[in-house]
Amino acid sequence: MTSNSSPAFNPTADVLSSIDVQASILRNELVSLSDINSGSFNAAGVDATADRLARLFASLAPSSSERIEVAPFRSTDDRGEWQEKPLGRALRLRKRPDAPLKIFFCGHLDTVFSISHSFQKARQLDADTLNGPGVADLKGGLLVMYAALTALEQSPYAERIGWEILFNPDEEIGSRSSAPLLAEAAARNHFGLIYEPAYADGGLASERKGSGNFDIIVRGRAAHAGRNPEDGRNAVALASELAVALHGLNGQREGLTVNVGYVHGGGALNIVPDRCVVKFNVRTSQASDEWWLQETLDQLLIRANTRYAAQGGFELELRGAITRPPKPVSAGTARLQALLGDCGRKIGLDLAFRPTGGCCDGNNLAAHGLANVDNLGVVGGDIHSDREWMRISSLAERSKLSALLLLRLASGELSWQ
């Protein structure tokens, strides 16, 4: 006769099944979040999104909750002048900042859809598909984060993990204003979990390219196109040469790409245009690309200046920088990927990690030395378009993945060090 021991108390299984119970609540909350417009420059909408999250996350009883003003977004207008736009505030929540293991959680409040965009509401396409602004990027991820932390807080091991959450208002425009908050978090946590969407096939990101936006402002001289065109200095013509030269940098260095995305100049056709702005994005794959780029851009401007120097009257100005360096897979990030892979297998997920040219706040954290995995949010696709979709069942699936990582680390079944 075998001894008949009572079934083991299994808090992990209990909290995971509680996520299934919450699934429809998470789905409904996602619809409500998606229906709030929070385009990066809709500061009121970004703040309203933060309000809703502050109420939701209050159930986790954070020890501190702060609304943090960030610097306005600075950019170049069509005349080449600096312009500033105000942004919504960041929301930062912390709990147990002295716990033995400190984890940073991050997700952005903003979307790419402005208040005047036609795409404003969520709608269900079929039993498992939700379409709506930010449903994948990244509002679905905010709810995954919420469900995972709720599971941790309901477990008997919560005391062993301290957490810091940052909801930042400007990820979709490069996180330049929230960068100092990301740097602070990187300095005081052991690793980071970011809730960007997983790939459409459920895979996760490994390496990410670096990125930076640049402007060249060409200032020439206006003149009458018929009477005295020889006195004019055509800024559009010179800017066009520069745009072609910039495009020509593609293929010159392995892993570096240039996208000339915006050119604006001129107006009335009987005026020699005196101003033209060229804007471009650069993606890099290693730190040394930055030096090559800077040198190459300097040479480009010097050559243009030399070619037109005899005429006089032109002025060229270059603005911008690589603001997100490439994210390689560090030893710490590889460790975190391995832990997540193991947790995935426990719930029947075979997680594949692969590189991407896209970048996100994971680049910022890596640049400050913080190991991180950055697309732990929902499974979805067609992001940044009105076809943006997410798989509803992935809310519970990905919540379980993060919850398992937290519970197994907190219980000592897995170790971070």
Binding stretches for Zn ion (CB under 5 A): 137-138, 196
Strand pairing partners for 213?
281, 321
Q: Which is nearer to Zn ion, 155 or 175 (CB)?
A: 175
Smallest separation, CB 19 to Zn ion (Å): 23
Q: Which is nearer to Zn ion, 47 or 137 (CB)?
A: 137
Q: Which is nearer to Zn ion, 76 or 375 (CB)?
A: 375
Q: Which is nearer to Zn ion, 196 or 290 (CB)?
A: 196
**C-beta of residue 127 within 8 angstroms of C-beta of residue 67:** no
Smallest separation, CB 197 to Zn ion (Å): 7
3-state helix, strand, coil in the chain (%, to 5): 40, 25, 35
Residue among 304, 324, 322 nearest 314 (CA) = 304
Smallest separation, CB 175 to Zn ion (Å): 10
**C-beta of residue 148 within 8 angstroms of C-beta of residue 165:** no
Residue among 222, 212, 213 nearest 276 (CA) = 222
Range list of H helices, 314-411: 331-346, 361-367, 393-411
**C-beta of residue 290 within 8 angstroms of C-beta of residue 367:** no
Smallest separation, CB 171 to Zn ion (Å): 5
Q: Which is nearer to Zn ion, 198 or 297 (CB)?
A: 198
Residue among 348, 388, 393, 403 nearest 24 (CA) = 393
Q: Which is nearer to Zn ion, 15 or 136 (CB)?
A: 136
Smallest separation, CB 359 to Zn ion (Å): 10
Q: Residue 330: is it exposed, middle or buried by C-beta count within 10 angstroms (0-12/13-18/19+)?
A: middle
Report the residue number whose CB is nearest to Zn ion. Answer: 137
Distance CA 37, CA 41 (A): 10
Smallest separation, CB 38 to Zn ion (Å): 12
**C-beta of residue 332 within 8 angstroms of C-beta of residue 340:** no
Q: Which is nearer to Zn ion, 132 or 232 (CB)?
A: 132
Smallest separation, CB 62 to Zn ion (Å): 23
Q: Which is nearer to Zn ion, 197 or 232 (CB)?
A: 197
Smallest separation, CB 196 to Zn ion (Å): 5
Helix (H) or strand (E) holding 87: none
Q: Which is nearer to Zn ion, 313 or 358 (CB)?
A: 358
Smallest separation, CB 360 to Zn ion (Å): 6
**C-beta of residue 202 within 8 angstroms of C-beta of residue 379:** yes
Name the strands in the sheet holding 64-68, side by side, starting at the edge strand that comes first in the sequence.
64-68, 90-95, 161-168, 101-108, 191-194, 372-373
Q: Which is nearer to Zn ion, 155 or 402 (CB)?
A: 402
Smallest separation, CB 371 to Zn ion (Å): 20
Residue 238, preceding bond cis, omega within 30 degrees?
A: no
CB atoms within 10 A of CB 154: 15
